[in-house]
């Protein structure tokens, strides 16, 4: 068992450790959605319920008492749930990711069918309950919703963001559960790694959308890894992975809700939830990963909930979606000046009305100064680690059909076999050169072609460095255009262009159909 943990931690460290740096460099487009201790601001999305579990939406700033590491904090901004609601219309406002720019800070829902970690019979029951949930929704969904599936062999988008209930129902009916081979073989290492990478992909793809992203994970979630009885070196690596994934999700404003469809046989998770997803007790002193890296702990860390031991999975899906839409947004300036990146800062919110319960993320890991550097040259990362992460990010973004929003890019055919790739320079992370006379931005660009079955036919990859004057460009400055030769092979039905900022880790994609 110990050797398995060691192999697992080494694998995860190689694949995931750079996430902590890229996530913290990547500032969201809307400054109110970010967590940057260096900027002295912490933003919290908070759901308030009464003793019956009903969501309460008519409170004021004075009803909340925020503490960090048991020290009271002053709330500097406050938004009620009504301030980020999507207007209800008779026809959908959102048909795809491209329409999300029209909804401002309104939340979105991401439904994930977990066929990687869930027994087949439980998968089938969960699918039945998902169909029942969709059947009971209005024809125009209240929130834009995307449907994903994670299986033994792939992580795939079944349907892009939409408010059209019928189109989601159609694709959900067509999708059939797959056998969880890794569960049957007991391959827990791969289950954990694939699950975490899927969550990272969701965060990377949605970073450019300013609103809250509510991930409703229908399935068991990855198997837990004990932090007890682990040798010190392995423990340090596992904690680094935990910080990486947590910071990535928080930077993208992702809240995770887990729903175990196993029903009344479910075992209680190690994190403190009752079967209805309510936190059991409030503490100023909780690190959700102190004893175990668990899926339930990750829901706690992101401000979500974990539902289990209940046959009414349809209700749990609806409850997760409702909680994800009706939340307060608070911000405070931390009183602590510590920047220790390994010290978990606990956050608790108590309500002036003791009959009300506030749910938010349990805390965060502060940034350290060296994590503000370009992760490709930071002393904590080897060249091998940086290259592995780059290859993983580019490959995942290329094969995915999710639209990545971290950078806004466009692609058009130029002259001959040349493709013109454009992006706003203000979205890139610029750094001064050694003498301070110019600003530089480094990026990796890939063009990949796919046939009708989704098989990759060809690709090219280039490294670019863009140079400007002594001042960093602004978002509304003219686009930077890169001219990239690429011969489209016969049989191509889709081109995908991927650009990754080497400093921030932000990724943008653009698709060209029938090029």
* Cβ 346 vs Cβ 366: under 8 Å: no
> What is the per-residue pLDDT across 301-334, written as a single tens digit (0 to 9) for each?
999 999 988 888 999 999 999 999 999 999 999 9
CA distance 460 to 445: 8
Supply the pLDDT for residue 225. 82
Domain ranges of the chain: 2-44+86-325+367-372, 383-513
Containing 449, the helix (H) or strand (E) segment is: strand 439-450
Q: What is the DSSP string of 311-379?
A: S-HHHHHHHHHHHHHS-EEEEE--S-----TTSPEEEEEEESSTT-EEE---EEPPP-GGGGS-TTT-T
CA distance 397 to 509: 8
End-to-end CA distance of the chain: 51
Supply the pLDDT for residue 33. 34
> What is the per-residue pLDDT across 28-87, written as a single tens digit (0 to 9) for each?
333 333 343 445 689 999 999 999 989 999 999 999 999 999 999 999 999 999 998 888
Provide the total of helices (H) and of strands (E) in the chain, helices listed first: 10, 24
Q: Which CATH architecture has domain 383-513?
A: Sandwich (2.60)
Supply the pLDDT for residue 286. 59
Supply the pLDDT for residue 278. 53
Supply the pLDDT for residue 382. 67
142 — alpha (psi -120 to 50), left (phi > 0) or beta?
Answer: alpha
Handedness of CA 321, 327, 331, 337 (dihedral sign): negative
Supply the pLDDT for residue 514. 83
* Cβ 331 vs Cβ 148: under 8 Å: no
Q: What is the DSSP string of 239-278?
A: HHHHHHHHHHHHHTTEEEEEE-TTGGGPPPPSSSB-TTS-
The yes-or-no answer to whether 2-44+86-325+367-372 and 383-513 have a common fold is no
CA distance 64 to 87: 27
* Cβ 506 vs Cβ 427: under 8 Å: yes
Mean pLDDT by 10 residues, the chain (515 residues): 41 43 32 41 94 94 96 96 89 94 93 96 94 96 97 94 97 92 89 92 93 95 82 77 85 94 60 51 58 88 90 92 94 84 86 96 66 37 75 92 95 94 92 84 95 94 88 77 95 96 93 89
Q: Where are the beta strands (DSSP E) in 70-154?
A: 71-73, 75-79, 108-114, 140-150
Q: Which CATH architecture has domain 2-44+86-325+367-372?
A: 3-Layer(aba) Sandwich (3.40)
Given the structure tokens 């990711």, which residue do they identify? Answer: 97
Structure tokens at 28: 């969201």
Backbone angles phi, psi at 159, to 5 degrees: -155, 135
């Amino acid at each position: 068992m110990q050797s398995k943990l060691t192999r697992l931690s080494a694998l995860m460290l190689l694949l995931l450790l750079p996430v902590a740096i890229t996530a913290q460099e990547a500032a969201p487009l809307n400054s109110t959605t970010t967590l940057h201790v260096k900027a002295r601001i912490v933003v919290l999305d908070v759901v308030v319920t009464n003793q019956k579990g009903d969501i309460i939406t008519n409170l004021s700033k004075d009803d909340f008492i925020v503490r960090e590491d048991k020290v009271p904090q002053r709330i500097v901004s406050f938004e009620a749930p009504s301030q980020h609601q999507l207007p209800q219309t008779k026809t959908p406002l959102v048909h795809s990711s491209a329409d999300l720019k029209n909804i401002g800070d309104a939340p979105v829902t991401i439904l994930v069918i977990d066929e990687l970690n869930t027994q087949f019979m439980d998968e089938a029951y969960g699918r039945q309950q998902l169909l029942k949930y969709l059947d009971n929704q209005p024809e125009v969904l209240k929130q834009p919703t995307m449907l994903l599936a994670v299986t033994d062999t792939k992580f795939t988008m079944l349907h892009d963001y939409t408010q059209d209930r019928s189109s989601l129902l159609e694709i959900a009916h067509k999708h059939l559960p797959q056998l969880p081979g890794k569960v049957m073989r007991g391959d827990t290492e791969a289950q954990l790694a694939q699950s975490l990478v899927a969550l990272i992909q969701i965060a990377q793809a949605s970073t450019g959308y300013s609103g809250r992203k509510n991930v409703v994970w229908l399935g068991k979630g990855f198997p837990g890894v004990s932090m007890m009885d682990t040798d010190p070196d392995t423990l340090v690596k596992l904690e680094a992975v935990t910080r990486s994934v947590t910071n990535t999700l928080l930077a993208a404003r992702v809240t995770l809700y887990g729903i175990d469809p196993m029903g009344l046989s479910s075992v209680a998770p190690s994190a403190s939830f009752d079967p209805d997803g309510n936190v059991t007790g409030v503490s100023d002193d909780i690190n959700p990963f102190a004893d175990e890296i668990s899926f339930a702990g990750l829901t706690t860390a992101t401000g979500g909930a974990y539902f289990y031991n209940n046959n009414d999975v349809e209700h749990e899906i609806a409850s997760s979606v409702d909680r994800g839409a009706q939340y307060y947004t608070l911000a405070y300036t931390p009183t602590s000046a510590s920047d220790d990146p390994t010290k978990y800062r606990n956050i608790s919110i108590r309500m002036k009305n003791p009959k009300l319960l506030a749910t938010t993320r349990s805390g965060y890991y502060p940034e350290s100064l060296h994590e503000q550097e370009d992760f490709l040259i930071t002393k904590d990362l080897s060249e091998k680690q940086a290259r592995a992460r780059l290859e993983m990010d580019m490959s995942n973004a290329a094969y995915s059909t999710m639209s990545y929003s971290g950078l806004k890019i466009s692609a058009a055919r130029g002259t001959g076999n040349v493709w013109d790739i454009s992006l706003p320079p203000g979205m890139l992370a610029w750094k001064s050169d050694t003498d301070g006379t110019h600003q530089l931005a480094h990026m990796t660009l890939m063009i990949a072609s796919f046939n009708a079955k989704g098989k990759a036919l060809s690709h090219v990859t280039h490294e670019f460095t863009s140079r400007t004057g002594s001042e960093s460009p602004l978002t509304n400055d003219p686009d930077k255009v890169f001219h990239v030769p690429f011969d489209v092979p016969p049989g191509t039905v889709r081109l995908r262009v991927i650009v990754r900022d080497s400093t921030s880790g932000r990724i943008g994609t653009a698709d060209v159909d029938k090029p």
